[in-house]
Structure 1
Amino acid sequence: MHDRKGDLPSRREHIIPSSLHGYVKNETRKDEVQPSMKLRSFRVRNYRCIDDSGEAPVEHIKALVGKNESGKTSILKALHKFNPATPEPFNGLKEFPRRRFHEYEDKATVVELKVSLDHDEMDELAQIDPRLAEVSGASVTRDYAGRYAVELLPDIQTPSPNLKGVFPFLIQLRGTIDRLDDTTLGREGGVRWKLLDALSRVGTGIVEETDLSNASSSREAFIRQLQEIQVVLEKSTDEGSKKTIRDIVRLILNTIDWPSIDTRINKYIVERLPVFVYFENYAILSGRIHLPSFVERFIAGELNPEENTARMLLSFLKLDPEKLVKLGTHEGKSSQEVQEAFDTRALMVDRAALSVSGLLADIWQQRKARLDLAIDGEYLRLWVADADGSRVELEQSSKGFQWFLSFYIVFMMESLQGKDTVLLLDEPGLHLHPAAQQDLLRVLGKLSEKNQVIYSTHSPFMIDLDHIDTISVLAETPKGTKISEPTKTTDKTALFPLQAALGYALSRGLYTGQYSLLVENITDLWILSTISQHFRESSHGSIDDDIVITPSGGGQKSALFATMLSGQNMGVSVLLDSDVEGISVKKQLIESPIARETNVLFVNDATQESGRVMELEDLLPPSLYLRFVNDAYSGELGKNRLGNEALAKDVQIRRYVEAELEKRGVSFSRFRVARQIMNDLPNIPFSQFPPEFVQNMERLFLYINRIKPEHTAQPIIARSSRHSSLRAIFSRSRS
């Protein structure tokens, strides 16, 4: 489809026709807000320090992480100007990259968005033209001149608006007419022959290459010839064929009218683009609002930022400040009327206080606090009440609390004004305690259920590692600032906030040992270190002492953790379950510029069954693992011990045990069995282990040890089985 360009408005503005560019903004009229499309990705180009950010996917929420001057604010500013709630045009003189200003032209693209359509929007487009039924989204760009260009996704290739372009439709029309039921006698009879006769005249006297989209005698003749077919068609009683013929004629007419339809599509898409609301500075709410002064400045349109926050609070509470002022005056009232007005005013504030009392219960977890309101003469006062009932004025509470409350009020009111906006926040919660920042992160997650949120941050406590796909890193490259996934960034310093977040999430700092083996969870650490220790004490191959085993908390976190450790020039091995997630993590590591040298192992690499899905427990002989399970659950199972008779060859032993215990009404705990292995396995004579198990484990240990540039055999130190098998966990190189 051709790009549809025009100086088009946001969905909140009326559109009037223009001569060449399709549409221009009318700043004076506001139409009813249309539901907007969902943002799926964005890309910023030619803006301040950014030449081309690359494409960044967006779901409900997106965190932009990067060091100072990396371009986080520039990204947010550019997105805001793409389609702001209040018009704010791009300024090429100030905003085009200075080092390339000699390349500037107003048609330079600044922002590209990809948006998705819902089912209703897809249906509405299909009503414009049936060929649009498969369109599920659009790519929209905006340049420095403010013009939008729209490309449908997937793109629709339409024929040229001439006889040559519509010829396939004419052939299709002929075939449909030939199949028409023409057995009716009387006036309705002979319709098929009449239609064929009318069709034979379509295109008569028109040059094949003539553009029929422009006003001309050829266009008028062509449309008149198609109308003859439609007139004759009304006499047919074959309703099925009539509909098919009408649809084909419609496609032909739409093809020659495509420039006009193109403009309609353009208008439809741009009107429904998401509106961007940018939050940069938040005025702190005052605990004392002088109502007469507030109303006077409100009417004059002269509210300062602090009073504007107060206005949003009053709006949120549905309190009319003018009415409160009128109820508080004595003029023209009897003493009884004054008392009734004061009582009414107090009742209004009390009801508002009840509605606001639970405002912070779900969002502020630092301490139990309740917001109270009270009317005091001409002042509306805000108090913060503790759980014990003691109250302090809002100004006497912490700055962090004041900021959080003010932000939440502004955020809630702005988001309520329009559905499906995209909320942009630059470094939110800077002076909040880390725990309060996590409260804020939860609030953003809640608000993102209705409005998409994009925010920038330096803080590790504003990073949600449980949803790594919501995090993008702004990294400096030889080609300028780029947005990338955390595991694919080439800028090690940009990863510092994620490194801190990961360390906090794991409740432990990054290890300082030179070599690390990352496993998926704590039970893998327990089992692997116990087996390795027993093998070492029995003078067999084991994991070298200076390789530190670290649980990462899951396969996806292993990729991020490996990137962090590799960025510190540490040798890293990653042991993964050979499942779909493990394969995905390995792919991420192979593609990572920093962690590509990571030694990635699958559990099944230790066996001859490369295609089998395996966990670490599957390396143990099934009968041995079931022995540990039966001992761990001896109280629940009694004599009804588990056997391996029903265990299929390719079924993971843990899944089998979990299902068998569930049949017996027993809940399975991986940790419980792993602890049993730690306690009992060191006491099993090494000679009782099957040769295949010994061979597989020694092969795995050999692969793990290859992390070291020059692997040499470590001295074997015989140890008593009374030594704790956990000692291997905390081993460190003392060289």
Structure 2
Amino acid sequence: MKPKKFRIVNFKSIIDSGECYFEPGYTVLAGKNESGKSTILEALELFDEEKVLSKSTSPIGTKKESELFITFEVSKEEIEQELGEIYSKNVSISNSELITIKKDMSGYTIEDGIKLPEKTKKIETEEIKALENNIIKIIKESDLKDATKEHILNQGLTFADYENDIPKWLENPNNANIYGNTYSLNEPGINTFSMILKHIEEFRNTEFSENKFLKTLIKRNMPYFVKFDSFDDVFPDSVSIDTIKTNPVIQDLEEVSDFRIDEIISDDSQIQANHENQVNTNFSKVFEDYWTQDDIKLVVRKNGDKIYFWIEENHILFKPSQRSKGQQWYLSFYIKVVAKMQETTPNVILIDEPGLYLHAKAQKDLLKVLERQFSSNVLVFSTHSPYLIEENRLNNIRLVEKIEGSTTIVSKPWARIEDKETLTPILTAIGLGLGDSISDRFKNNIICEGMEEVLYLQAFQLLNDIDKDINFINGNGAAKLEFFGRILEAWELNVKYLFDNDTAGKRAGKKVLRDNPSALVHYVSDVSGESTVDLISVEDFKNIILEDNSINVIKNSDYIKNEKLDKVILARKFLNHVKGGNIEVSPKSSDKIKILMDKLYS
């Protein structure tokens, strides 16, 4: 069972999160502090089978019940396993979806289950009919009196009749009321009815029913929901021998290494010493894959009534609490999360603010570690750090914002956002700074009005298969282009100016030419009022960028402005599609783009 999407209703600050899809690789919950990112992870953690959803999670001031919805993809193999051999051979099965709900103080209920073929019900009917025939045979061959046999068989009883009525007859065998007649059941008669009830009970234990099937399917295949909290999950400096067997961190350590509690606390000094050396060597080799910043080892030593843990670096021992928060975080994260991964059931791994204690390089390394080590699991982590957001994977981002006290999830980072501060880590990640754009290795430069123009032009360059050493620079507004152009010209670099064909662009272009008549000034289009995004046809804009052909769009730039969408994120999305090679623009778009690119590259 692989989670596909979730929805959280009436949980603390969340009235209704809306549907949120899990992305392959990992899903990022991005937003500013106090937006509700941690609350979302807390709710997902409570979906774990071992957790209980209590009434205390309802929003303040309401008695409405908390509800957690998760839709799972269920494989053909998982369904066949639960159906059993007799059903799997007789029905055609395909991958399906299962919507499960968890509410206050209850287990899982099913909102929309797997639709099994009618043939499964037919098989069940045939089995019941066979059981009814077997019961008739037992009665005919029994030692019941002939009059009793005849009276029962003439009723045309069904399986359900026998199941409901035989217990009543056995309650008073000396005076059994069997459909209007009173009979005294002798011992053979009692044995006959007891045998029939045993057959019915055995059938009930093995029979197929959709409800029973779904519950068993969930029980066997529901993934673990494992949450790692940067604030609470801390690796200890030491643990007393009295409490070591119940310490959850040490229990997890046993799962991920050769560490064994019984051997480390053994009274046999040779066993205890040998075990220390073995654990230290093996654990450190595995941990190297997770912590790449320094060459360190984990050392375990027993001293008196305590087990001490040390981090060895350059042959010097340090307490875990003496090391950097980042190093402590990695150690704790590895032990807790990897411990759960020893299970055969897949996991949903939830990480709250993984970059909190890590410097920029360690945060970037963490993304590689997560993908390499946990690729077979579903990963969800919260962050407001730009270093944990990859500019080429904007589809993985889910924006979390709190509007009027209620947390909601916006699944598309290019959608309309009420609180613009929510976008800050994303905009930082995809490079709004000018400094990254200017480099003296580029002899030829084209200065654009904004970052969105830079991204669109990079995409247009790929679409036209142009391979020239030209740099596109974000000029941070039409009025500033001349300023940056003069800097580049002072560095003896070639410069072209590209303006939108609107009022601000025309005014700025004229000023550049007035101050420097030899300047190379271009406009994105000869059509008055058009900007770079308008070179893309309306249909391509709706299909490729908005991903919704039903929206009414007259002019691309006007729609973005009116809906208050983020121009840069939309442009990055278009560039990512072009880089992925999974789009084909219409001739209308292609012709307009080619005119501009020919102009710029002439």
1:436 is matched with 362
Give 3-state SS (helix, strand or coil) of 1:423's partner.
strand
Q: Could you say which residue in structure 1 is the equivalent of 2:73?
A: 116
Cα distance in 2, alignment partners of residues 520 and 95 from structure 1: 48
Give the SS at the match of 1:116.
Answer: strand
Q: Does 1:296 align with 2:245?
A: no
CA distance in 1, matches of 2:304, 2:259: 16
Distance 1:546 1:261, change over 3 A: same
For residues 528-567 of structure 1, what are the structure 2 equivalents within 5 Å?
A: 544-546=497-499
Return the letter of the residue paired with 1:139. I
Match of 1:648 in 2: none
How far apart in 2 are the matches of 1:324 and 1:283?
23
CA contact under 8 A between 1:282 and 1:403: conserved in structure 2? no
**Alignment-mate amino acid for residue 496 of structure 1:** T
CA spacing shift, 1:268–1:520, aligned 2, 3 Å: farther
Matched, 1:411 2:327: no
Q: Does 1:54 align with 2:3?
A: no
Whichever residue aligns with residue 351 of structure 1, its letter is: Q
1:520 and 2:449 matched? no
Q: 2:408 aligns with which of 456, 481, 503?
A: 481
Tell me what 1:446 maps to.
372
Could you say which residue in structure 2 is the equivalent of 1:76?
A: 41
**Cα displacement (A) at 1:499:** 1.4
Q: Give the secondary structure class of the aligned counterpart of 2:259.
A: coil
Q: From 219, 224, 227, give the equivalent of 1:278.
A: 227
Instruction: Mark the CA change 1:509 to 1:320 in structure 2 (over 3 Å): closer, same or farther.
Output: same
Deviations 1:330-375 (A, max 9, x none): xxxxxxxxxxx54443222112121022233222232333334455
Q: Secondary structure at the match of 1:455?
A: strand
- Please tell me the root mean square deviation across aligned C-alpha atoms, in Å: 5.1
CA deviation string 1:41-60 (max 9, x = no partner): 11111222222212111134
Change (3 A) 1:322 1:157: closer
Change (3 A) 1:297 1:363: closer
Task: Report the residue type matching 2:351 in the other structure.
Answer: L
Match of 1:326 among 253, 257, 266: 266
Unaligned ranges ≥5, structure 1:
1-36, 171-203, 207-211, 221-258, 328-340, 532-541, 549-570, 604-608, 620-694, 705-724, 729-735
Contact 1:126/1:132, CA 8 A, preserved across alignment: no
Judged with a 3 Å threshold, the aligned counterparts in structure 2 of structure 1 residues 133 and 316 are, in CA distance, closer, same or farther, namely closer
Q: 1:148 aligns with which of 103, 108, 119?
A: 108
Q: Deviations over 1:421-465 (max 9, x none)?
A: 222222224122122222333333234324322221112222234
Match of 1:495 in 2: 423
Q: State the AA in 1 paired with 2:386.
A: P
Partner in structure 2 of residue 268 of structure 1: 216
Q: Which amino acid aligns with 2:457?
A: V
Q: Which amino acid aligns with 1:279?
A: F
Distance in 2 separating the partners of 1:213 and 1:132 = 30
For 1:410 and 1:433, locate their aligned partners in 2 and report how far apart those are by CA, in whole Å.
22
Deviation at 1:88, TM superposition (A): 1.8
TM-score, scaled to structure 1: 0.50
CA contact (8 A) 2:401 2:408 kept: yes
Structure 1 residue aligned with 2:93, among 133, 140, 143?
133
Task: Tell me the residue number matched to 2:522.
Answer: none
User: Which aligned pairs between 1:564-579 and structure 2 lie closer than 5 A?
Assistant: 573-574=532-533
CA distance in 1, matches of 2:93, 2:35: 41
Matched, 1:39 2:35: no
- How far apart are 1:413 and its partner, in Å? 1.5
SS across alignment from 2:235 = coil
CA distance in 1, matches of 2:266, 2:593: 86
Work out the number of aligned pairs and report it. Answer: 443
Q: Report SS of the residue matched to 1:402.
A: helix
- TM-score normalised to the size of structure 2? 0.59
C-alpha contact (below 8 Å) 2:14/2:408 kept by paired residues: yes
Partner of 2:201: none
Shift of 1:140: 1.3
Report the equivalent of 1:64.
Answer: 29
2:324 aligned residue: 398
The residue identity in structure 1 corresponding to 2:98 is A
- For the structure 1 residues 119 and 133, does the alpha-carbon distance in structure 2 shift closer, same or farther, using more than 3 Å as the test? closer
Instruction: State the shift of 1:158 in Å.
Output: 6.2
**Structure 2 stretches of 5 or more lacking a match?**
127-153, 166-206, 439-446, 473-494, 502-529, 552-559, 579-583
Specify the code of the residue in structure 2 equivalent to 1:453: L
Contact 1:135 1:153 in 2 (8 A): no
Following superposition, the deviation at residue 40 of structure 1 comes to 1.1
Shift of 1:110: 0.8
Instruction: Give the match's secondary structure for 1:279.
Output: strand
Deviation at residue 523 of structure 1 after TM alignment: 6.1
1:673-692, CA deviations, whole angstroms, 9 ceiling, x for partnerless residues?
xxxxxxxxxxxxxxxxxxxx
Paired amino acid for 1:502:
I
Letter in 2 for 1:353: N
Letter in 2 for 1:62: T
Q: Which secondary structure state, in structure 2, belongs to the residue aligned with residue 416 of structure 1?
A: coil
Q: Distance in 2 between matches of 1:529 and 1:316?
A: 51
Q: Is the 8 A contact 1:213 1:219 kept in 2?
A: no
Change in Cα spacing, 1:124 to 1:699, as seen in structure 2 (3 Å) is same
Change (3 A) 1:526 1:269: same
Please give the alpha-carbon distance, in whole angstroms, between the structure 1 residues aligned to 2:163 and 2:256: 62
Alignment partners' CA distance in 2, 1:393 and 1:144: 42
Check conservation: 1:516, 1:547, Cα contact below 8 A. Answer: no
> Is the contact between residue 264 and residue 272 of structure 2 (CA under 8 Å) also seen in structure 1?
yes
Q: Secondary structure at the match of 1:487?
A: coil
Q: How far does residue 157 in structure 1 lie from its aligned partner after superposition?
A: 8.4
1:421 corresponding residue in structure 2 = 347
Amino acid at match of 1:47: F
Structure 1 residues 643-658: aligned runs within 5 Å: none
1 CA distance for matches of 2:382 and 2:44? 13
Letter in 2 for 1:472: R
State the 1:589 CA deviation: 9.1
**Structure 2 vs 1, CA of residues 296 and 700 (structure 1 numbering), >3 Å: closer, same or farther?**
closer
Shift of 1:115: 0.7
Q: Is the 8 A contact 2:249 2:336 kept in 1?
A: yes
Distance in 1, matches of 2:593 and 2:52, equals: 66
Higher mean Cα deviation, 412-421 or 370-379? 370-379
How far apart are the structure 2 equivalents of 1:147 and 1:381?
40
Residue of structure 1 in register with 2:60 after alignment: 98
Separation (CA, whole Å) in 2 of partners of 1:480 and 1:544? 43
SS in 2 for 1:278: strand
1:305-354 Cα deviation digits (max 9, x unpaired): xxx42443355333333433333xxxxxxxxxxxxx54443222112121
Q: CA deviation at 1:276?
A: 1.7
Change (3 A) 1:38 1:572: farther
